[in-house]
Amino acid sequence: MREGSTRTIRRPRSAPAAVRAVVVAGASRGSTAVGKKITLGRSRLADVTIADFTVSEFHVEIAASSDGIEVQDLDSWNGTHFEGARIQRAVVPRGATLSLGESTVRVDVVTEEQPSSAVRDSFRSLLGKSTVMRELFALLERLAATDLSVFIEGPTGSGKELVARALHDDSARGPEPFVVLDCAALPGNLAESVLFGHTTGAFTGAVAPRVGVFEAANGGTVFLDEVGDLPLDLQPKLLRVLENRQVTRLGDDRPRPISVRVLSATWRDLRRMVNQGAFRDDLYYRLAQTRVVLPSLAERREDIEALVAEVLRRLPRDASCARAISREALAELAKRDYPGNVRELKNIVERAAYMCDGPVVRPQDLAFERMLERRNEPRFDDSGEDEVPEFKGAKRTAVDDFEHDYLQRLMARTDGNIAMAAARAGIERHYLRSLLKKHGLHTRG
Ligand SMILES: Nc1ncnc2c1ncn2[C@@H]1O[C@H](COP(=O)(O)OP(=O)(O)OP(=O)(O)O)[C@@H](O)[C@H]1O
Ligand SMILES: [Mg+2]
């Protein structure tokens, strides 16, 4: 059984543009690929592999843009050159020739065939009717049926964790455990024990045995979140566990067999980290047998309406809040930029639903950015004056003051450590970061 509905959609008349890259001179002459985004490099995981030692593992990425082809060099050693000039990020004309080390590549725009005319508009709890999400759901459905490792890329708040959960839930491992390991929050000296477990007395303070993440997930899935933050010294150890399919607790000499599917994600560009030697390429290959790239919300504004409706539908039944949104407010939301992607949209809608005074969210209820400016508004206190401030302004000022004070105390108590602060406050790190930014509070984490 699958959640969500399947709907037949009409084939769009003009298919979205894709790019083609062909190696025209050098070691891998003739190698080619077509796609919305193409990575070229020496790695066998690149979309076009160029067997040339002057080319970096992941050298450059190209994508179609309205006025040509967008080229983004991935911090390659020898650079990407166009007409004799080294380029970092640039738009080049169709049919342009790029030099990557000693190899030459021609890039062009092509019209892509639509992969299918009937695709779903949700996958488990992931929603989206945009073409890019529908294609993604079709891919996820196929991936869920396999045991391949999946590396999930995408900007913050774009749904990476949700994709990992959906892949697990939809797979044969669904009834087994799904264990999330946040690699950015691993305690330095205990990291190895968190991953692999330990026996009593394995080190000072190991008073009881501990089951590591891999053993705990046996039969199911481990999701290595923020895997780009995995300490370098742990990387070969993790690779060994994945290749040998067995784990040995610290202080133990008996390996235990495990069957675990590994999914991983990061907002960092691991390909750049591989180029810079900050992430082991052999581990990257093992983690990224397949890759899933999530688009930013700005690239799929058609999905905003369904996401907003879902947020309103999921508000607690007994809460006193708005449960509908006006057309004008929706139009206002569709115009905005969302650096925090779906998470930011959800936060905005949720807060508006609670803060507004009527049953329907209107454009004026979405003006949270102005909250800070209202800090100086009159408060409704016992100062004895006759002034009665307007209710909504006073409510916003109060919430704003509360957030500010709460964050200050929280960060003081956790010594500015974001991971610890988010855990203690019971909110997600990225949301905490955005709140801190909004209030101009700086941290060390
Ligand atoms: N396609 C989607 N449909 C419905 N909800 C979504 C979708 N994508 C993301 N969300 C929601 O947005 C929020 C952020 O998603 P998630 O935590 O998976 O993002 P992330 O990519 O892991 O972010 P980060 O990089 O900050 O960890 C969650 O509340 C999630 O449920
Ligand atoms: Mg995440």
Task: Please tell me the total count of domains within the chain.
Answer: 3
Binned at pLDDT 50, 70 and 90, residue 384 comes out as low
Based on the domain organization, do 271 and 173 belong to the same domain?
A: yes
Probe target for ligand 1 pocket from 151, 158, 305, 433, with the most ligand atoms within 8 Å of CB: 158
118, part of any domain = no
Fill in the DSSP letter of residue 378. P
Per the model's pLDDT, the better-predicted residue between 33 and 283 turns out to be: 283
Stretch 41-48: mean pLDDT, rounded? 89
CA of 130 to the centre of ligand 2 (A): 22
Q: What is the mean pLDDT of the chain?
A: 85
Stretch 413-424: mean pLDDT, rounded? 83
Whole-number percent of the chain with pLDDT over 70: 89
| Pick from 434, 371, 375, 444: nearest CA to 412 | 444
127, part of any domain = no
Asked whether the beta carbons of 101 and 55 are under 8 A apart, the reply is yes
Residue 379: what pLDDT? 58
Based on the domain organization, do 339 and 272 belong to the same domain?
A: no
CATH number of the CATH domain containing 219 = 3.40.50.300
CA of 161 to the centre of ligand 2 (A): 5
Based on the domain organization, do 307 and 260 belong to the same domain?
A: no
Q: Is the pLDDT of residue 55 over 90?
A: yes
Q: What is the pLDDT of residues 68-103, one digit of tens each?
A: 899 999 999 999 999 889 999 999 988 899 999 999
The residues near 36 (Cβ < 8 Å, ≥ 6 apart) are 16, 18, 19, 63, 64, 112
- From the CA of 300, the nearest ligand is 1
Q: What is the pLDDT of residues 226-275, one digit of tens each?
A: 999 899 999 999 999 999 999 999 999 999 999 999 999 998 888 889 99
Binned at pLDDT 50, 70 and 90, residue 282 comes out as very high
Residue 119: what pLDDT? 64
Fill in the DSSP letter of residue 294. P
163, part of any domain = yes
CATH number of the CATH domain containing 26 = 2.60.200.20
Per the model's pLDDT, the better-predicted residue between 67 and 196 turns out to be: 196
The residues near 309 (Cβ < 8 Å, ≥ 6 apart) are none
Residue 381: what pLDDT? 57
Based on the domain organization, do 208 and 231 belong to the same domain?
A: yes
Based on the domain organization, do 238 and 258 belong to the same domain?
A: yes
Stretch 356-368: mean pLDDT, rounded? 84
Distance CA 118, CA 5 (A): 12
For residue 379, the one-letter residue type is R
CA of 267 to the centre of ligand 1 (A): 12
Domain that holds residue 83: 17-111
Residue 385: what pLDDT? 57
Q: At what angle do helices 304-313 and 341-355 cross, to 10 degrees?
A: 50
Binned at pLDDT 50, 70 and 90, residue 347 comes out as confident
Concatenating the DSSP letter of every residue in 203-262 gives STT--S-EE-HHHHTTTSEEEEETGGGS-GGGHHHHHHHHHHTEE--BT----EE---EE
Name the domain boundary from 275, 293, 311: 293
Distance CA 64, CA 94 (A): 9
Based on the domain organization, do 289 and 303 belong to the same domain?
A: no
Residue 369: what pLDDT? 43
Based on the domain organization, do 280 and 318 belong to the same domain?
A: no
Residue 442: what pLDDT? 62
- The predicted model scores a pTM of 0.67
Distance CA 396, CA 349 (A): 15
129, part of any domain = no
Residue nearest to atom 2 of ligand 1 (CA): 126
| Pick from 322, 287, 294, 292: nearest CA to 308 | 322
Residue 368: what pLDDT? 60
Based on the domain organization, do 407 and 374 belong to the same domain?
A: yes
CA of 99 to the centre of ligand 2 (A): 36
Concatenating the DSSP letter of every residue in 83-138 gives TTEEESEEEE-TT-EEEETTEEEEEEEEEPPPS-S--BSEETTEE--SHHHHHHHH
Residue 15: what pLDDT? 44
Based on the domain organization, do 183 and 271 belong to the same domain?
A: yes
Instruction: Return phi, psi of residue 114, to 5°.
Output: -70, 130
